Amino acid sequence: MNRALSNPLAQWGFAIIATILVLAALAPWIAPYDPDAIDVKSILLAPSTTHWMGTDGLGRDVFSRMLFGARISLLVGFVAVGIATFIGVILGAISGFYRGWIDVVIMRLVDIMLSIPTFFLILAVIAFLTPSIWNIMIVIGLTSWMGVTRLVRAEFLSLREREYVLAAETLGARNFRLIFRHLLPNSLTPIIVSTVLGIASAVLVESSLSFLGLGVQPPQASWGNILTDGKEYIQFAWWLSAFPGMAILITVLGYNLLGEGLRDALDPRTKS
């Protein structure tokens, strides 16, 4: 922890993500207006002291919608990556530990999933479902586990032949203990880094789906559908595209910095 907190990349990433999380958590108290309140007298107002980020085509306060949209985008990122990580760790552990035909079957399944462009696979699945935040989280999670599976499998294949694992096996340790007591704890570093970086990808996917109208549905605010509203007025209402775009950029940048910082800090090859 001390090494991670002293890493400049991790510090910047943590500061960015912590700030966004605090703003999202306090959105009901910080937001100056109801994010869904329509005000026909305040349509497309430019940023000012009254509306810090202007208003949209229905007179809704963009700053308030940005705060509530952060909650949706981050929730999708956390839950979707949680699902993907859980599936990936289980399949990767089974594949790397038991090897043989089990490994072959799981890896061929991974190859089949990777042969299909992930975003188009998500679009195809979403087309048959009712667009909702829960469907988005589940679909992103169920289509994003392959990288974690391959990562965990590689770690298990490497650790499986270590002396302490062979010693534990010789002493009669059961498979369950070998996996969860000896192998999985020593594989956590790449899993943690992959999870942090995966959240950034999930935020981008959710924003893209919402931008296309297949994600979070209005009037519920998300950064993606705020961008969708902005494309109709982009020539004279720049703030509707600039602010949500910057929010997505900063959030993804924060997670990438945090992930890279953790990778540098937790890599045993860099320890003195």
pLDDT score of 159: 85
> Is the confidence at residue 185, as pLDDT, over 60?
yes
252 within a domain of the structure (yes/no):
yes
7 within a domain of the structure (yes/no):
no
Cite the beta strand spans of 137-181 per DSSP E: none
**Band (270; pLDDT cuts 50, 70, 90):** low
pLDDT cut 70: percent of the chain above it: 97
31 within a domain of the structure (yes/no):
no
Top-confidence residue, 121 or 191: 191
Mean pLDDT of 4-24: 87
User: Per-residue DSSP letters for 216-229?
Assistant: SPTTS--HHHHHHH
9 within a domain of the structure (yes/no):
no
pLDDT score of 153: 92
Q: Characterise 213 by phi-psi region: left (phi > 0), alpha (psi -120 to 50), beta (else).
A: left
pTM of the model: 0.85
Q: At which residue do the structure tokens 């306060």 appear?
A: 61
Q: Give 172's contacts (C-beta < 8 A, 6+ positions apart).
A: none
Mean pLDDT of 87-94: 93
Selection from 53, 74, 63 nearest residue 31 by Cα: 63
**Band (272; pLDDT cuts 50, 70, 90):** very low
Mean predicted lDDT score pLDDT of the chain: 86
* Torsion angles phi and psi, residue 55, rounded to 5: -130, 165
pLDDT score of 24: 92
Region of poorest pLDDT, from 1-5, 150-154, 165-169, 177-181: 1-5
* Torsion angles phi and psi, residue 241, rounded to 5: -100, -35
Which pLDDT tens digit goes with each residue over 19-68?
A: 999 999 999 999 999 888 888 888 888 898 888 998 988 889 999 999 99
Region of poorest pLDDT, from 36-45, 130-139, 145-154, 189-198: 130-139
15 within a domain of the structure (yes/no):
no
Sign for the CA dihedral angle at 28, 29, 31, 33 comes to positive
135 within a domain of the structure (yes/no):
yes
Task: Give dist(CA 213, CA 207) in Å, integer.
Answer: 10
> Is the confidence at residue 136, as pLDDT, over 50?
yes
Beta-carbon count within 10 A of 21 CB = 15
Cα Rg of the chain (Å, integer): 22
169 within a domain of the structure (yes/no):
yes
Q: Which domain holds residue 142?
A: 54-267
Task: Give dist(CA 31, CA 23) in Å, integer.
Answer: 9
**Domain count for the chain:** 1
> Is the confidence at residue 271, as pLDDT, over 60?
no
Residue 237: DSSP 8-state: -
CB contact at 8 A, 133 and 72: yes
Please report, for the domain that includes residue 156, its CATH number. 1.10.3720.10
